[in-house]
Amino acid sequence: MHPDAEQALADFFSQLEIEKRASIHTIKSYQRDIKRLISYCTGKAICHWTDLRQSDIRAHIANRHRQSISSKSLQRELSAIRSFYNFLLKNRLADTNPAEHVQAPKQARKLPKTLDVDQVNGLLEAGANSMLEIRDVAMFELLYSSGLRLSELTALNLSDLDLPDNSLIVRTGKGGKSRILPVGSKAVTAIENWLPERSKNALPSEPGLFISTRGKRLGQRSVQLRLEQWCKKKAIAEHIHPHMLRHSFASHLLESSQDLRAVQELLGHSNISTTQIYTHLDFQHLAEIYDKAHPRAKKKSI
């Protein structure tokens, strides 16, 4: 690519990081996506971003589709390209967005896997017999109690907790958004059991709530592995991952409250359509509510 094109790309990622406060995960994903587009441009001897046409974007996405790339990944790639060209348009470095009307092949939306209440109880109420297991139970209880993302759990600091108020603050939510969440009594008890152990092992400079045996903040992969190990020890055959506890939180809360907006706020979803995927899990109950409450749904008795 021409040096001017490379500079425009560098400016775009600086804006994402500084102005848009995009997550590191988003930035890295966009970098990979644009890198693939650059490879296409190199193959076609395209040196300037303004030389790309809609037909080029379609050809690039079609080629990626032939490589068996999922629809979800292709949609993300198109989103990255659209965002970049919107940046170019805003800064008068391009006249059109060639990706604007290009769509990825549609794919059926996968429904989230959840645990029922009995499965959650069986998972969380198995006794902890060591310092690590006390920590693990506190983590798993908190994931289910507050519907946290794995990244949000590992980013929690001790100062983010307010146990007397049964609440915590998420400072590193998706999109840089923060939110205050309730913490259930079971999770509060589990955390209270963990805090004395933490104080014995944490490095003086470590603010993280959940730490490793070395006294440093626990990473996301470590949480995943600990949950796998916990399930094996408890003879739970089903593969359970941390996000499944978040899915279960959303499903159970929606089933009990029927308040989609409240669940949206608790999950930290910017768009309610993301939250609506959980409604399928309790559609029969919703239909019964409708039949009882809607004035035109009631059947007339003869």
Is residue 174 annotated as a catalytic residue, yes or no?
Answer: yes
Q: pLDDT tens for residues 253-271?
A: 888 888 888 888 888 888 8
**Cross-strand pairs, 253:** none
- Is 0.75 surpassed by the pTM of this model? no
Q: How is residue 180 written in tokens?
A: 């205050």
Helix ranges (DSSP H) in 91-234: 117-124, 131-146, 150-155, 185-201, 220-233
In this predicted structure, the answer to whether residue 1 has a pLDDT above a threshold of 80 is yes
Contact 189, 262 (CB under 8 A): no
**Residue 183 confidence (pLDDT):** 93
What are the residue ranges spanned by the domains of the chain?
3-90, 117-287
Share the mean pLDDT of the chain: 87
Query: Which residue in the list 174, 186, 216, 241 is annotated as catalytic?
Result: 174
Q: Which fold has domain 3-90?
A: DNA polymerase; domain 1 (1.10.150)
pLDDT of residue 262: 86
Question: For this structure, is 243 an active site residue?
Answer: yes
Catalytic position from the list 135, 149, 217, 247: 149
Is 54 in contact with 101 (CB distance < 8 Å)? yes
Q: Is the Cβ–Cβ distance between 227 and 241 less than 8 Å? A: yes
* Catalytic (active site) residue 58: no
- Binned at pLDDT 50, 70 and 90, residue 302 comes out as very low
What's the rounded Cα separation, in Å, for the pair 123 and 244? Answer: 12
Instruction: Write down the CATH number for the domain with range 117-287.
Output: 1.10.443.10
Q: What is the mean pLDDT of residues 216-230?
A: 94
What mean pLDDT is predicted for residues 75-92? Answer: 92
pLDDT in tens, 66-82: 888 888 889 899 999 99
Nearest alpha carbon to residue 38 among 46, 28, 29:
46
* Neighbour tally for 28: CB within 10 Å: 11
| Average pLDDT estimate for 204-223 | 95
pLDDT of residue 123: 87
Of 91, 73, 130, 100, give the one whose Cα is nearest residue 12: 91
- pLDDT-derived band at 292, boundaries 50, 70, 90: confident
53 annotated active-site = no
Q: Which of 217, 246, 247, 252 is catalytic?
A: 246
Phi, psi (5° rounding) for residue 167? -150, 165
